[in-house]
Structure 1
Amino acid sequence: MSVKTILNAEDNATNRKIVRDLLEWHGYRVVEALDGVEAVELAQREVPDLILMDIQLPRMSGYDAASAIHGDARLARVPIIAVTSFGMIGDEKRAYEAGCDDYISKPFRPRLLIQKIVRLLDGTGSCGDAEEERP
Structure 2
Amino acid sequence: MGLSILYVEDDRLAAAAMLARAAEGGDRVIWEESGATGLSRAAAEPFDIIILDRMLPDLDGTDVVRRLRAAGVDTPVLMLSALALAGNRIEGLDAGADDYLSKPYEPDELIARVRALHRRAVPRPHSAVLLHGSFECHL
Which TM bucket (shorter chain)? 0.7 to 0.9
**Residue 120 in 1 paired to residue 120 in 2?**
no
Distance (Å, rounded) in 2 between the aligned partners of 1:3 and 1:25: 10
Structure 2 segments unaligned to the other structure (5+ residues): 123-139
| Count of residue pairs brought into register by the alignment | 122
Indicate the percent of aligned positions where both proteins have the same amino acid.
Answer: 25
What is the CA–CA distance in structure 2 between the aligned matches of 1:89 and 1:3, rounded to whole Å? 32
Matched residue, 1:131: none
Question: How far, CA to CA, are the matches of 1:49 and 1:124 in structure 2?
Answer: 8
Per-residue deviation at 1:87? Answer: 1.2
Secondary structure, in 3 states, of the residue corresponding to 1:38? helix
TM-score, reference length from structure 1: 0.84
**CA–CA distance in structure 2, aligned partners of residues 71 and 62 of structure 1:** 14
Q: 1:124 to 1:38 in 2, by over 3 A?
A: closer
Gaps of 5+ in 1: 126-135
- SS of the residue corresponding to residue 123 of structure 1 reads helix
Q: Could you tell me how far apart the structure 1 residues matched to 2:9 and 2:38 are?
A: 9
1:80 maps to which residue?
77
CA distance 1:21–1:92, change in 2 (3 Å): same
Deviating beyond 3 angstroms after TM superposition, the runs of 4 or more aligned structure 1 residues are none
Residue of structure 2 equivalent to 1:133? none
Taking the TM superposition and a 5 Å limit, the aligned residue runs for 1:102-121 are 102-121=99-118
Query: In the alignment, which residue of structure 2 is the partner of 1:65?
Result: 64
Which residue pairs with 1:128 in the alignment? Answer: none
TM superposition shift of 1:124: 6.7
Rg larger in structure: 2
CA RMSD between the two structures: 1.5
